[in-house]
Structure 1
Amino acid sequence: MSFDLTFECVLDLRCAVAESPVYDDRRNCLFFVDIGKRALHRADLTGSGHIAWTFVHGACSIGLAQSGRLVLAQRDRVVLFDPDSGTIAKEIASIEAETRDTRLNDGKVGPDGAFWVGTMHEAADRRPVASLYRVPADGTVERKVGGIICSNGLAWSADDSVLFHSDSRGPWIDRWQFDRETGAISERRRLAVLDEACGRPDGAATDVEGSYWSAGVSAGVLNCLSAEGELVRTHRFPVPTPTMPCFAGPDRKTLFVTSLRPAGVGEDSRAGGIFAARSPIAGVAVQRFDDRRL
């Protein structure tokens, strides 16, 4: 299917690094983080009703929880945050707290009810010392994939059988067979390699037709790949650095995309804003963290 997307800026926040947009179907709102400003944001789908919280330990990625709380990845820990009271309810796990040059990055709740979150190497030499982890509600930290520079691009297929995962500095996208009962992954396969010109793979989402949508942060594009790795569509984005797409709304056909604000960008640029476009294809519904006993 060939189509164009018309993006409009719904929140001109000038975020340093807006990331991890998540649609909450119960509240009919969007949550997202600004990693650079250590903030978590909430807004209605129109951009109104905006509120934000800041954290000493940062805000790197989020997921929804069964209780209505959010599972929040901070620099080196995973916590439960209650957006109704504005308080951290519980620390769930500590990850790579002893490693100075890494921090948590992209995270999402999987079909297994666990929070999947990766780390990234922040030092100038960008070495493959980061990993992807699985964190269930009991706080167990299971290392699933190593040898990563910047873990990113987590998303699952509509039937829960495939996990997509990327390394933004690899720069590659892989797919794994996924067992939703155990969280086991197997049969790793290199899906695509996308360079600076094509758009290094940042955050991602999947649609119900099996496509994988990857924010091409280095090229100002949103890339759409088939489940077999064919680049089927490339959509130009209004600002140079999109970071992650998210399907939202009751029909999951409003595509929200976060962005970052590069140093030296013009004062009239809306880079760092939150953009939205209508899509003819619905996205895969996100899962909720199983915190019912916490």
Structure 2
Amino acid sequence: MAELQTLFDYTGHLPECPTWSEEEQALWWADILQGELHRYHPASGEYSVLCFSEEVGCFALREKGGFIVAMRNAIWLTDRRGLLVQKVCDNPSNPQLARFNDGGTDSQGRFYAGTFWGPGDYNGALLVRIDNDLTPKVIQCDIHGANGLAFSPDKRWMYTSDTPNGVIYRTPLNEQGEPGKREVFRQFGPGEGLPDGAAVDEEGCYWSALFDGWRIARFSPQGDQLAEYRLPVRCPTMVCFGGHEMKTLFITTTRENMDAAEVAEYPLSGAIFTLPVAVAGMKKSLFIER
């Protein structure tokens, strides 16, 4: 059995969107509620933080250097220091009620960012895509909390999850990567946990962080659970693959909305864990501007 370890001596508030930089051999992630991007270089132990004026829901590394960052009010391009360079678009949701949440890139280097509908009174969130020419396009609605974005190795399927509604979807993609009608991939019941952030491996299996479920699970392309990995904390938020061979699973977790008693009992809530795995993960594309 592979051994679960903490990445280093760190706990955050709401760490999300772990992203492995192949060029840097370093892990980046956001702490949404702190408005921060973090970087850790495992080989040297070097650690640094970039600070922003708003929540940072998700981000991607840019081919031209720097980041594309989905903040509460808008999506921005930044330089390597995190300084805002160009506003791409406003938040297409009501930013007072819906902040950006999960996101990432597809094989064509386009950026996707979903929102989380704060009031919870109906499915008011959405998923927006930023194309390579920086044009925004809303591609899915009827979501409570957008999460779980990942793409199959054959580029035929986009996976997403709606965490509060306990469902993972898959959406067929045509040759241009345009989405068809989404369908239910897996529905979760009481006690299973809620599907949060995710990643796909080279065999096309979907790895989901099960929020409130104490575990990570690996699902076949048909939606069958193949394996699970228990955690010492209740709420993992997302996973990504990285390392030299893309066979290290990085797992972000949170301590959001936990009282002092739970944090004291489970002090690693908010830590980042690493797990060696037998199958390599798919590499994340850089955001490409043309």
TM normalised by structure 1 equals 0.92
| SS at structure 1 position matched to 2:13 | coil
Superposition deviation, residue 69 in structure 1: 1.8
Q: Deviations over 1:98-149 (max 9, x none)?
A: 44211111010112321111111112x4420111111114332211111100
Residue in 1 aligned with 2:122?
A: 127
Q: Deviations over 1:34-58 (max 9, x none)?
A: 0121111011135821100111122
| SS at structure 2 position matched to 1:288 | coil
- Count of residues in correspondence between the two structures: 286
- Asked whether 1:152 is paired with 2:150, we answer no
Alignment of 1:70-149 (within 5 A): 70-83=67-80, 85-96=81-92, 98-123=94-119, 125-149=120-144
- Asked whether 1:15 is paired with 2:9, we answer no
Distance 1:272 1:257 in 2: 10
Residue in 1 aligned with 2:200?
A: 206
Distance 2:175 2:105 in 1: 11
Distance 2:32 2:72 in 1: 9
The letter of the residue matching 2:33 is: G
Does structure 2 conserve the Cα–Cα contact (< 8 Å) formed by 1:92 and 1:137?
A: no
Distance 2:220 2:83 in 1: 40
Aligned pair in 2 of structure 1 residues 51, 191: CA closer, same or farther (>3 Å)? same
Runs of 4+ in structure 1 off by over 4 angstroms are none
Distance 1:140 1:63 in 2: 16
| SS at structure 1 position matched to 2:56 | coil
- Asked whether 1:234 is paired with 2:220, we answer no
User: 5+ unaligned residues in a row in structure 2: which ranges?
Assistant: none
Q: Deviations over 1:169-212 (max 9, x none)?
A: 1111011112363x311142211012341110000000001110
Residue in 2 aligned with 1:178?
A: 173
Q: Percent of aligned pairs with the same residue?
A: 28
- Asked whether 1:254 is paired with 2:248, we answer yes
Residue in 2 aligned with 1:197?
A: 191
Distance 2:166 2:121 in 1: 12
Alignment of 1:21-36 (within 5 A): 21-36=18-33
Distance 1:195 1:126 in 2: 21
- Asked whether 1:162 is paired with 2:157, we answer yes
Does structure 2 conserve the Cα–Cα contact (< 8 Å) formed by 1:22 and 1:31?
A: yes
| SS at structure 2 position matched to 1:40 | strand
Distance 2:99 2:190 in 1: 23
Aligned pair in 2 of structure 1 residues 69, 278: CA closer, same or farther (>3 Å)? same
Q: Deviations over 1:211-251 (max 9, x none)?
A: 10000011111011111111111210121111111100121
Residue in 2 aligned with 1:63?
A: 60
Residue in 2 aligned with 1:290?
A: 288
Aligned pair in 2 of structure 1 residues 266, 119: CA closer, same or farther (>3 Å)? closer
The letter of the residue matching 1:208 is: E
Distance 1:178 1:134 in 2: 14
Quote the RMSD (CA, aligned, Å): 1.7
- Asked whether 1:269 is paired with 2:267, we answer yes
Aligned pair in 2 of structure 1 residues 22, 126: CA closer, same or farther (>3 Å)? farther
The letter of the residue matching 1:39 is: E
Does structure 2 conserve the Cα–Cα contact (< 8 Å) formed by 1:244 and 1:259?
A: yes
Q: Deviations over 1:136-167 (max 9, x none)?
A: 14332211111100000000111222110110
| SS at structure 2 position matched to 1:266 | helix
Does structure 2 conserve the Cα–Cα contact (< 8 Å) formed by 1:165 and 1:173?
A: yes
The letter of the residue matching 1:221 is: R
TM normalised by structure 2 equals 0.93
Distance 2:190 2:117 in 1: 19
